[in-house]
Structure 1
Amino acid sequence: MYLPKRPDEKSSGCDVVSTDAIAEVNQQTTEFYFLPIPSRLRYDPENPFRFSYKMLVSYAIVGFIITANLYYCQPLLIQMSKSFQVSYEGVSRIPTFVQAGHASGLLLICPLGDLVHRRQLILALLLMTTFLTLGLAVTSNLHLFEALSFLSAATSLTPQILVPLAADLAPPAQSGFAFSIVLTGIMLGVLLGRVMAGLIAQFLAWRVVYYTSFGLQCLILVCIYLFFPDYPPHRANNELAYWEVFWTMGKYIVTEPLVMQIVIINLGAAACFANYWVTLTFLLGGAPYFYSTLVIGLFGLLGMAGVMAGPICGRIVDKMGPWHALLAATFMLLLFQAVHTGAAGIHISAVIISCFGSDLFQQIQNVALPNLIFSVSSSAASRLNAIYMISYYVGQMIGTSVGTKVFVRYGWRASAALGMAWYAMQIVVILIRGPNCRRYIWFGYEGGTRFRGRQQTVDFAGDHSTIASESEETQC
């Protein structure tokens, strides 16, 4: 874990001073009323911490370890069924409990990042997740395991607290690159969580996976306490009650054109992602390929290549601006999906091309969309992130259920064509509203289509206005 430096300390040239509107005059010296905050980590509005990419790498490592928790169970279900002495159907509910728990946490806990000190929130979530993971390792009762899985997933939210924090602290001209580093850690947790669990369980008992996770989380918990700075909530949220969080989330969705636009695009993007990977398994396992599970799993390596290109995608978003990068990426995704629709069931080369291209340009989407939604309000970053992630989960459920039904009933080409239709829908929604419209403009191209980079938001007493980013504007 990297400790950010104070402005008066020597630092590398990539460090920049945060100009965030988080400010509390009284310095907090303890957390949870009894635990002292190390003096070097206490927030001082007169001497704020410097922001650097080393800090982002530490965020990415934490995101990797915690996100992997959500996917450990998937390759272990067969061993779990033997251990709990139940059928495969009996353990098949475990991933459902994990998904339901995480979705509940995103809705009920994630928005707290706007109301409380994020250091204390992260420590509390990590402490609960750590001991719940220990419970998963030792319990011999299936129903208790399901309940603990739900609670563990509901508290595995540290990455979703760090994501808006990174977006909040990063300089506007570099926010895409900053966000992409944290996103890369999270996506590696998604991809490698299953792999690590499968490898450990191949040679040892499945419970060793959770004991290992418990040890890693203990290490992360200590590092967070010793090195993570204290960032207080925004002044704009000082009078905001917990129940008002949900009112403001709903208000953002129905009154902010940009939020509504991003939610619709994100639903389609998540649906396309889930539809592609779920139906790809069916396609490769049947005629004309008849590949084994191992060979099908190796296609995940192509996904790894796209994830590792995340920082490059972040640079592209910073250079082009999120709206233009999003439009270009979605158009390229439509082209690669067309390749998949035309020849995926005919020759494996079409599958490889579409797989790599889809993962690469989906990374640009995954960087551009949060950049856009976070630009709505810096004081509501956690609530906006909750809206974004919930819409992503809903989109994945739509893509999985609808895509599977279309594949089973009409075949691989119909399900691939459905993906093309969803990408086309996203392009239409992007084009409805230009990149430089004022806050409450729902349609049109007010301000033209100039390249602007990410816009920066400034909050004044709970309200906010949008100002141009530091990126140099160029005429499109």
Structure 2
Amino acid sequence: MPGPSHSTHEDEGRRSIPPALVWLLAIGAGVGVANVYYIQPVVPLVRETFGIGSEPASLVPAVSQAGYALGMLLLAPLGDLIDRKRLVLAKSILLVLLLSATALAPDFSVLLAVSLAVGLLGSLGQDFVPMAAQLATAEERGRTIGLVTTGLLCGILLSRTLGGVVGDLFGWRAIYALAATMVALVGVAVWRWLPLQPATANGSYGALLLSLATLVGRYAVLRKALLTQGLLAATLGAFWSTLALMLAEPPLHLGAGAAGTFGLAGAAGAFGAPLFGRLADARGPAIAIRLGCLLVALAFVLMLASPHSIAALIAGAVLFDLGVMAALVSHQTIVTTIDPAARSRLNGLLMTAAMIGMAIGALAGGWAWSRYGWAGVCFTGAACGLVALLRSLFPPSIPFASKEYAR
């Protein structure tokens, strides 16, 4: 397993991270991850462009999520082995090229292929989280991660709003041309203002990947975090991959722009991330994780009880995005503290579990929608939230104010 190449007293003498740098990290995280989600509100437009059914069209967001999971597993760990700034710049260049190819996709099979690749490099957004953890002091780490995660989640949620509005006005291809421009601008800003971050581990890339299994086997609290966050992320996949299809059906008959607008409701929940980061710093992360699971389950019960109610949909989007965010910030605080030399790998494992959960959720949501309608989607989300809550209540316990983790 690659070993640490830096002092374990990494926080000694470190100054607080400048607010402008936190903003850059948060914006970079949001712009990077948004590319995976532009497709969700424009699924009906893609369906019309290529003359396919709803179930095949729902494969595009599912494939993007699968690519994102692979990117978190295979590419994000590189941040421990090479300079994170250089990694971000390389990914940005490749992502600009792939987004341009998506905008020009001539048929559905090509769109599926480039969507997988865009998802793979969408792991760019997550590279900013371990960067923030390394730059921040121990006392402000939870708050800083919370702020960067706010940017990340706003990118996920507002990408749907932007994708829907641009799709309605100019067609679904236009959003990918705009996305390529935004990624290029972030790359320039990273090159100009972010400091270099030397590698924190030694060894080969193969050894780095093998160490992922070692980390999972070593830390029981990590395994608990992976399963719990994966279950919560499945609710995101189920909801957002079917929302546009539900809104387009009777009695609502709403378009891609309306579906994208729901991202604003979800973004309202994302702004609670710094609050949960502070809660993790002050009281420990377990309480925030359990509260998040409960909010997710209650949100889907509300939407199940009031089908086709716009008010219930808005309230549900706020509540369950807030719940998923509460657990994510808390889990990131946990995993980035387990082993400072393995922060990119540990965060990559967490987000791989989340993206696998989201991809499975997208597939399950599409299946539930095609057979049971919106009620099936809501039941799927509520069940995932309740199972996640149950898992969070069982051992191992999550230690607070301690460097030792359950094994």
Q: For the Cα contact (< 8 Å) 1:323–1:372, is it kept in 2?
A: no
Match of 1:376, as an amino acid?
I
Conserved? CA contact 1:317–1:364, under 8 Å? no
| d(CA) in 1 for partners of 2:394, 2:166 | 49
Equivalent residue, structure 2, for 1:28: none
Give the structure 1 partner of residue 65 of structure 2: 99
Residue 126 of structure 1 pairs with residue 88 of structure 2: no
* Percent identity for Structure 1 against Structure 2: 25
1:248 is aligned to 211
Check whether the contact 1:77–1:88 (CA below 8 A) recurs between aligned residues.
Answer: no
CA RMSD of aligned residues (A): 3.7
Q: Which residue of 2 aligns with 1:60?
A: 26
The DSSP-based 3-state class of the residue aligned with 2:307 is coil
Partner of 1:273: 236
Q: CA deviation at 1:382?
A: 1.2
C-alpha displacement at 1:133, in angstroms?
A: 3.1
Please say if residues 333 and 423 of structure 1, whose CA atoms lie closer than 8 Å, have aligned partners that are also in contact: yes
1:181 matched to which residue of 2?
147
Q: Point out which structure has higher relative CO (alpha carbons under 8 A, 6+ apart).
A: 2
Q: What secondary structure does 2:77 align onto?
A: helix
Amino acid in structure 2 at the alignment position of 1:326: I
Deviation at 1:359, TM superposition (A): 2.5
Query: After alignment, is 102-111 or 330-339 more displaced?
Result: 330-339
User: How high is the TM-score relative to the length of structure 2?
Assistant: 0.82
| Unpaired runs of at least 5, structure 1 | 1-20, 25-44, 438-451, 458-464, 468-476
Instruction: Give the superposition deviation at 1:116.
Output: 0.8
Deviation at 1:244, TM superposition (A): 1.6
The answer to whether 1:389 aligns with 2:355 is no
Is 319-328 or 142-151 further displaced after alignment? 142-151
Secondary structure, counterpart of 1:70 in structure 2: coil
Alpha-carbon displacement from aligned partner over 1:111-154 (angstroms, at most 9, x marks no partner): 11111111211111112222333444456576555544433432
Aligned to 2:279: 316
Letter in 2 for 1:371: T
Aligned residue number for residue 186 of structure 2:
220
Partner of 1:37: none
Counterparts of residues 38-437 of structure 1 (less than 5 Å):
51-75=17-41, 86-88=50-52, 94-137=60-103, 140=106, 146-204=112-170, 207-234=173-200, 237-238=201-202, 240-277=203-240, 290=252, 292-293=254-255, 295=258, 297-341=260-304, 343-345=305-307, 350-406=312-368, 409=371, 416-433=378-395, 435=397
**Contact 1:333 1:358 (8 Å CA) reproduced:** yes
By how many angstroms is 1:259 displaced?
0.9
Which amino acid in 1 is paired with 2:51?
Answer: S
- In 2, Cα distance between the equivalents of 1:198 and 1:329? 27
Name structure 2 gaps, 5 residues minimum.
Answer: none
Secondary structure of 1:51's aligned partner: coil
Q: Deviations over 1:254-306 (max 9, x none)?
A: 3311011111111221123333455666766668x545345555443321211
CA contact (8 A) 2:28 2:128 kept: no
Residues 317, 291 of structure 1: CA spacing in aligned structure 2 closer, same or farther, 3 A cutoff?
A: farther
| Cα distance change of structure 1 residues 273 and 95 upon mapping to structure 2, 3 Å threshold | closer
* Higher deviation after alignment, 174-183 or 259-268: 174-183
Quote how far apart the aligned CAs of 1:74 are: 4.4
TM-score normalised to the size of structure 1? 0.71
Q: Deviations over 1:282-331 (max 9, x none)?
A: 766668x5453455554433212112333233223333221122123323
| Higher deviation after alignment, 47-56 or 104-113 | 47-56
Residue type of the partner of 1:64?
G
**Partner SS for 2:338:** coil
Distance 1:366 1:105 in 2: 18
Q: What is the distance in 1 between the residues matched to 2:15 and 2:214?
A: 33
Cα pair distance change 1:249/1:78, threshold 3 Å? same
Separation (CA, whole Å) in 2 of partners of 1:346 and 1:143 = 33
Q: 1:206 to 1:124 in 2, by over 3 A?
A: same
The residue identity in structure 2 corresponding to 1:344 is: S
| Structure (1 or 2) with the greater helix fraction | 2
| Larger Rg, first or second structure (1 or 2) | 1
